[in-house]
Structure 1
Amino acid sequence: MIDSNEKLNAVHEQIAKAAKLAQRKAEDIRLIAISKTRTADEIRPLLDAGHRLFGENRVQEAATKWPALREEYRADGSGAVEVHLVGQLQSNKAEDAVQLFDAIHSLDRPSLVKALAKAMDKQDRRIPCFIQVNIGEEPQKGGCEIGDIASLLETARSAGIEVPGLMCVPPAEVHPAPYFALLSKLAKDNGLSELSMGMSGDFETAIKLGATYIRVGTALFGERK
């Protein structure tokens, strides 16, 4: 059985290889270990291996795991644990999200900007928020329309929310490269430097097309039961 150290090292080797092919530095790409549906006992081996950046899809699930895990690993000397929200966020969960997470990758509508800004003001805590783009124009997916990026960006900045970049989930079962390339162009067009894109099956392609955050679950934790 492959242990967490080996899995983590294998993913880092793939990142380094893809970065080299793209003439980029591997250290410019941050690996988010997607720990949704994983128990604290499943997450601990990655924490013990030194990994410190994780991603969750649901506010309620994260609240059952991460406050205790953060406390457990707070004083071990290997850096603070970061947890990012990568799933859809309901406006009525904004306050909990601001309290729990270090970044949000799914800002996609003005009403959510309003809710997050109110929560950040109340808690006197600012966290960066990526704008999620519905890059494949899929009705069943979250994300703002491509034509709405500039106005949503302006709305967020006016509310005092830092937007470092864009996030997308390309359509399934088609080659993701054109969608990653489009997100990269949209980020440049809007003066944004960060790109949250790429998962276990396609993160090397995402890196070649400019990803700065990749979201990897299966390659680190194995298949879900």
Structure 2
Amino acid sequence: VPDELVQLFLDMTEPDAVEKIDDDITRQCAYFFPGVVWAVGARGWPKLRAAYQKLATDDDWKTRANMAASIHKIAQIIGPELTQADLLHCFDAFWKDWDEVRASLLLHMAEFLALIPLTARHVYLPLLFSFKDTEESTFWRFRQSLAAQIAQLCYIVQEEEVYSVLCNIALELCVDPFASTRQTAYEAVSSLDVLRSSHVLSSCEFWYAVHFTRVFNFHPCSRSQLGG
């Protein structure tokens, strides 16, 4: 990719571009940022690093949401070392951002966490409870997205964390007030059952069986939703 073309893109991320070009130019830059990173590759990342940081902290929450939604794609391109050095603090900021930004981050959280060291993943797992404990009806999508991530997360964390964190979250989401969240959680529990059958979760077999029985009997509609 010619340096001149990359520079034209970088110019559009500057603050005065909003006045010169368009009001939503930063949102557009954020949306297409993964494609630009893919075009220049990991070697070209140093040229884009400052622009990424700028867009990730933009005043417009929609711009930040676009950046949060694609952080896993950037990580896949630039690799684990650069991800830990340049993206992890952005991930932290998105995690604490507005709900709309956090929702975008949550959609592909497992894919991002898979690209950082195991020790770093260990830090983030307990924070998942902050998404689970959103009882307001407007936040049910948080819980549904979280339930959808559980199966992937099981394969990238340590066994005791599957037991102490993910099993607890999955089973609690199985009794969520919203049916769509429960359905997604049931699918996650099925994945946990496969892991248990393959002895990955052998240490919590009894615990899982007891709690699954409680969940199964909690809702009259559970049998039909589980296909029973």
For this structure pair, what is the TM-score category when the shorter chain's length is used for normalisation? under 0.3
Query: Which structure: greater strand fraction?
Result: 1
- Which one scores higher on RCO, CA 8 angstroms, separation ≥ 6? 1
Structure with bigger helix share is 2
Give the TM-score of the pair, scaled to structure 1: 0.28
TM-score, normalised to structure 2, is: 0.28
